[in-house]
Structure 1
Amino acid sequence: MKLTLIAVASTVFALSLSALAEDMPGMKMDGMEGMQMKQETTQAPVATADGTIKAIDTVKHTATIAHGAVPAVQWPPMTMAFSVTEDQLTGLSIGDRVSFSFRLEGGKATIVSIKK
């Protein structure tokens, strides 16, 4: 019984602390007018690779590329689809050998630049 009461009390205490932390909008900012707030603008790093275009899907805006190992993101050689823009695909076709850089964010690989 004591352990149950202690567990309940600890949980209530922990939840009350998180509720207090959410009350930041009411924080007084007097005297802080000149203080600059730093915003995080961290982007995922860009990795580079070489490969061969295996497929292009203009509807889904993807290029499937068979590429070598990419040590920057600890990938072995594989074939996968990358998100691309229409402009990036200009002049490229299936079978082209390409060098490209990409950014991996949220499990999605997006081409930053690509060239033959």
Structure 2
Amino acid sequence: MKDINFLIAGVGGQGTILVSDIMAEVGMLAGYDVKKTDVLGLAIRGGSVISHIRWGEKVDAPMSMRGKVDYLLAFELLFQNRVEFFDNDQLINFGSKSFISFWE
């Protein structure tokens, strides 16, 4: 079985890490070997957050290689073009149509 690579992208405060934790748990409950890592931008609300989740029979590393992400969940439209790991048309799902500033 081929590994399944997920990437979740958003900004701090949107629940990106919570969603990735849930997806990792679902993969484990389904019997897959699961690896997960979170890449945090600024350590404040509004900083970028990218989570990699990989499911498979035997997953060696938590991060997906560039262009190898199978499924992308982006909470902001601005991440459609910023996420270099996603290089196919399998799934793009957006949570909003514009960036919501937490500072206003």
- What TM-score bracket applies, with the shorter chain setting the length? under 0.3
Higher helix share: 1
Q: TM-score, normalised by structure 1?
A: 0.24
Q: TM-score, normalised by structure 2?
A: 0.25
Structure with greater Cα Rg:
1
Task: Flag the structure with higher strand content.
Answer: 1
Higher relative contact order (CA 8 A, sep 6+): 2
